[in-house]
Structure 1
Amino acid sequence: MTIIVKMDDGGAEPWGIVELQGDLESREGHGSLQSKFVGDLHYTTQGGIPTLIIGHHILYGKAVNMEKPYAVLEKQTSDTDNGVQRVKYVVKAFVKKKLIFKVRPKPIIANVPN
């Protein structure tokens, strides 16, 4: 069996992965967090440390290069003249970096004047 892998004409984009330790739960109960807003990702001005703000919690992480990069593939199918389905995979992106947040989140406490 031949598997065709093709580079996208525009070149593959660099992507990243956010790795969290533990569970991330929604207030709305159980369900998928896919396509939902989770939090804000920032980098500190001194040192460029990744900071993730989720609700009233802040997490500090670190950016690392992956030992073995991942390729993000998109499966494309097409029919040939004799009715056989042809499958090819197009490389859409490469994942070379990841942000690791493995320290417990810290609560954000606002200073409210009396």
Structure 2
Amino acid sequence: MPIIVKLPDDATVGEWAIVELQGDLESRDNSNIYEQFIGDLHYTNKGKPLLIIGHHILQGEVVTMDKPLAVLEHKDIAASENEDEKSVEYIVRAVVKKKLVFSDRPKPIIANVPKVI
């Protein structure tokens, strides 16, 4: 079975980054967090990433990966008139060259609450 890897027809490949967190990320009700909103990602004036999750802030750094990764889309393709023979095709959708590493513990965000006299 032939396996084909190709660029998309319009030849535009996005550049993505991986977010790397140390430890576990759990929801309050232990539900699945797949495709759920996790938090806000911001950058400082110096280009350092900040991740805000709920009432916590994480400070990170941008690291260039030693070996880039490719994000591939899998497609099955029928080859010729014989439907029993199929080939597999992978389309490159993005290249991952950097990762955002958040290795420190999250710090609580404390609001400035005025004192009531």
TM-score norm. by structure 2 comes to 0.90
Q: How does 1:37-56 map to 2 (within 5 A)?
A: 37-45=37-45, 47-56=46-55
**CA contact 2:42–2:50 (8 Å) conserved in 1:** yes
Q: Which residue of 2 aligns with 1:4?
A: 4
The alpha-carbon deviation at position 111 of structure 1 amounts to: 1.1
Tell me which stretches of 4 or more aligned residues in structure 1 moved more than 4 Å: none
The alpha-carbon deviation at position 28 of structure 1 amounts to: 2.0
TM-score norm. by structure 1 comes to 0.92
Structure with bigger gyration radius: 2
Q: Which residue of 2 aligns with 1:72?
A: 71
**Is residue 92 from structure 1 mapped to residue 93 from structure 2 by the alignment?**
yes
Gaps of 5+ in 2: none
Change (3 A) 1:100 1:24: same
Gaps of 5+ in 1: none
Q: Which amino acid aligns with 1:36?
A: Q
Identity %: 58
User: RMSD in angstroms over aligned alpha carbons?
Assistant: 1.1
Q: Which amino acid aligns with 2:19?
A: V
